[in-house]
Amino acid sequence: MGEIFLKMEKVTKIFPGVKALDEINLEVETGEIHVLLGENGAGKSTLIKILTGLYQPDGGSIYIKGDAVKSNSPQQALAAGIVPIYQELNLIQELDVTENIFMGREIKKIERFGILDREKMENRTKEILTELNQNISPTALIQDLGVGKQQMVEIGKALSVDVNLLILDEPTSALGKDEVKELFRTMRHLKEKGVTIIFISHKLDEVKEIGDRVTVLRDGKYISTKNIADVSEDDLVREMVGRDIKNQFPKVKIEKGAEALRVKNLSRAGVVNNVSLRAYRGKVLGIAGLVGSGRTELVRTIIGADRKDSGEIYIHGQKVEINHPKDALKYGMVLLTEDRKNQGLFLDQTVEFNCTSANLNKYKQNVLLDLTRQKEDTVGLIRSLQIKTPSTQTKVKQLSGGNQQKVVIGKWLNTEADIFIFDEPTRGIDVGAKVEVYNVINELTNRGVAVIMVSSELPEILGISDHILVISEGKVTAEFEAEEATQEKIMSAATINGGINNAV
């Protein structure tokens, strides 16, 4: 066994109503890639935040290279070369890439005067991004970059300091295939240089590919530490959830119903190129494509979040004008976005508020709200989606990332909508909870709802869709019945340049 870089011993953390960590042990060797695995709410992010001094533990000890860490703070952790990339992106949208990378550590021209050496910082930024093989301009504003590119900037920011222990909390959930490849290449490179890495991901294939050892947490408790070479993906699932998951894609086939949505020749300059599609009651239309291919832009244009330049939309056979998501909701069509922090949730509000906010009309009694009914419905959603929360009154920002995602789903389930568009519905969701999301989709189609599902996970596209569209560069490049589709067929259509017109 190599030198132990980090040892956490019997670490405990209690939040009001939850014991997030119950005497957790973690031992990480110098220069290894150590995976932390566990279901949503298992305590992974909390353990990291204690290690980086963001939270103070209620018990236990931390040792770095054998020395006990007495009082920990983010500054101290950084000084010890412990650099975290948190699950939530922490970039400032209005600033550019260079400003974000050097935030708080600006390079000065002359130290005594506060004059910044912009040129030096830009050059260094360029170097770091080139090392990551990212063609991102140092002067681009963060808000103009997609989520995947933003994540690469976060990673660049972490690499801009001297790092001994790099912590990556679900860095890949927003990344495309090529970006993941670059990240893994960088991780291996850092490892060769002796950097220790803690890696958190719900994607077991990635865990198998990149990890050396894995520690599993379940419900705030330490379960095991193993060599990754010695365990299968099924073993990992069993350790995480405490049981076998027999069917990862429990698809229920429903009779095809009437056409619910028809999109005809929809275009938006530069992102959506003459797309036509149809969605039917009882069916799931899967939309596959690479990250950045225009899938999110397509669904945003359909529901009126972005302006279309041309094209027509028919709902239940009627031509409609949709200029705003509110119009879409009026016609019973909702979009569950991939970006829960900015679009899907009121983080400072309670679980109940979020679960009922999309449908307040339902609860109106004269001028008052029917509070009992709001609470009952929320309890029902917590139960059916297995949302891990101490109460209906807990603020959403206190839930783990995956449980926040479930609240977004709950919010829209609790409407009368009959056309559901999901954009990456299982991003950041653990294996067990994924199955719950698929069961929700089954229940929706069973109710006669039409579902559209944008997803980057090919097994999910193949396992859950009835009909599949592939988008590349804003165009539909292929269409398949689920039975005739394969990963290879989808990937080759997803990388066609230009594309073809699909006839509807």
Ligand X SMILES: Nc1ncnc2c1ncn2[C@@H]1O[C@H](COP(=O)(O)OP(=O)(O)OP(=O)(O)O)[C@@H](O)[C@H]1O
Residues at the contact surface with Mg ion, assessed by CB under 5 A: 45, 87, 401
Minimum gap (Å) between residue 210 Cβ and ligand X:
18
Interaction of residue 426 with ligand X, rule CB under 6 A: no
Among 42, 167, 277, 464, binds ligand X (CB under 6 A): 42
Return the structure tokens found at 224. 């095991």
Distance of alpha carbon 449 from alpha carbon 443, whole angstroms: 9
Distance of alpha carbon 166 from alpha carbon 120, whole angstroms: 25
Among 5, 8, 24, 40, binds ligand X (CB under 6 A): 40
Return the structure tokens found at 315. 């709902």
DSSP state of 235: H
Interaction of residue 38 with ligand X, rule CB under 6 A: yes
Q: What is the largest CA-CA distance in the chain?
A: 74
Interaction of residue 293 with ligand X, rule CB under 6 A: no
Interaction of residue 388 with ligand X, rule CB under 6 A: yes
The pattern of x and - marking residues 44 through 83 that bind ligand X according to CB under 6 A reads xxx-------------------------------------
Nearer to ligand X, 87 or 301 (CB): 87
The separation between the first and the last C-alpha atoms of the chain, rounded to the nearest angstrom, is 62
Among 125, 350, 398, 477, binds ligand X (CB under 6 A): 398
Interaction of residue 84 with ligand X, rule CB under 6 A: no
DSSP state of 503: P
Minimum gap (Å) between residue 397 Cβ and Mg ion:
13
Helix and strand counts by DSSP (H, E) for the chain: 16, 22
Select from Mg ion, ligand X, none the partner in contact with residue 474, using the beta carbon and a kind-dependent cut-off of 5 to 8 Å: none
Nearer to ligand X, 124 or 340 (CB): 340
Q: What value does the CA radius of gyration of the chain take, rounded to a whole number of Å?
A: 24
In angstroms, the Cα distances linking 349 to 118, 287, 357, 488 are 40, 32, 10, 44
Binding piece for ligand X, criterion CB under 6 A, among 35-43, 261-269, 351-359, 370-378: 35-43
Minimum gap (Å) between residue 371 Cβ and Mg ion:
31
| Helix (H) / strand (E) containing 47 | helix 44-51
Select from ligand X, Mg ion, none the partner in contact with residue 40, using the beta carbon and a kind-dependent cut-off of 5 to 8 Å: ligand X
In contact, 417 and 251? CB cutoff 8 Å: no
Interaction of residue 20 with ligand X, rule CB under 6 A: yes
In contact, 142 and 97? CB cutoff 8 Å: yes
Interaction of residue 204 with ligand X, rule CB under 6 A: no
Nearer to ligand X, 279 or 399 (CB): 399
Nearer to ligand X, 336 or 482 (CB): 336
Nearer to ligand X, 43 or 499 (CB): 43
Nearer to ligand X, 73 or 391 (CB): 391
Nearer to Mg ion, 98 or 404 (CB): 404
Among 5, 62, 82, 87, binds ligand X (CB under 6 A): 87
Among candidate residues 265, 259, 269, 256, the one with its CA nearest the CA of residue 313: 265
Return the structure tokens found at 381. 């959603």
Pairing of strands 59-64, 4-15: antiparallel
In contact, 13 and 58? CB cutoff 8 Å: yes
Minimum gap (Å) between residue 427 Cβ and Mg ion:
13
Nearer to ligand X, 38 or 53 (CB): 38
Nearer to Mg ion, 332 or 428 (CB): 428
Helix-strand-coil percent breakdown of the chain, rounded to 5? 35, 25, 35
For ligand X (CB under 6 A), the number of binding residues is 20
Distance of alpha carbon 215 from alpha carbon 134, whole angstroms: 31
- Binding residues for ligand X (CB under 6 A): 15, 18, 20, 38, 40-46, 87, 388, 398-403, 430
